[in-house]
Amino acid sequence: MEDVTLTCLTNLRVGRSRGQLAANKPCLLLAILCEIQRGHISTPQVYIDDRLIARYFDLYEIATGDRHAANPHLPLWHLKSDQGVTGALWEPNFESSIANVADSIGQPKSLKKLSTLFTEATLDPALFNAFQDPSTARSACALIVTHYFARSDQQNDLNVYLNNAFASGEYEKQTDRLVGEVTENAQQQARSAAFRMLVLEAYDYRCAATRLRFITPDYRYLVEAAHLIPFAESFDDRPSNGLALTPNLHWAMDNYLIAPGPDHKWHVSPTLDELMPDNAWLHQLDGQAVILPRAKHSQPDPLALSWRMDHLLR
Burial (CB count <10 Å: 0-12, 13-18, 19+), residue 148: buried
pLDDT in tens, 52-89: 999 999 999 999 999 999 999 999 999 999 999 989 99
Distance CA 275, CA 42 (A): 54
Report yes or no: 205 and 223 within 8 Å, Cβ to Cβ: yes
* pLDDT at 223 (0 to 100): 98
pLDDT in tens, 266-299: 999 999 998 899 999 999 999 999 999 999 999 9
User: If you write DSSP's letter for every residue of 95-115 in order, what string do you get?
Assistant: -TTTGGGGGGPPPPSSHHHHH
Q: What pTM, to 2 d.p., does this model score? A: 0.93
Report yes or no: 53 and 72 within 8 Å, Cβ to Cβ: yes
Delimit the domains of the chain by residue range: 2-171, 205-310
Distance CA 276, CA 296 (A): 38
Query: For the chain, which residues score pLDDT lower than 70?
Result: 1-4
Distance CA 65, CA 61 (A): 5
Lay out the sheet containing 120-123: strands in order across: 45-47, 120-123, 90-92
* pLDDT at 239 (0 to 100): 97
* pLDDT at 1 (0 to 100): 43
Residues in CB range of 43: below 8 A, 6 or more apart: 128
Residue 6 DSSP SS3: helix
* pLDDT at 252 (0 to 100): 98
Helix (H) or strand (E) holding 45: strand 45-47
* pLDDT at 8 (0 to 100): 94
Residue 267 DSSP SS3: strand
C-alpha R_g of the chain: 22
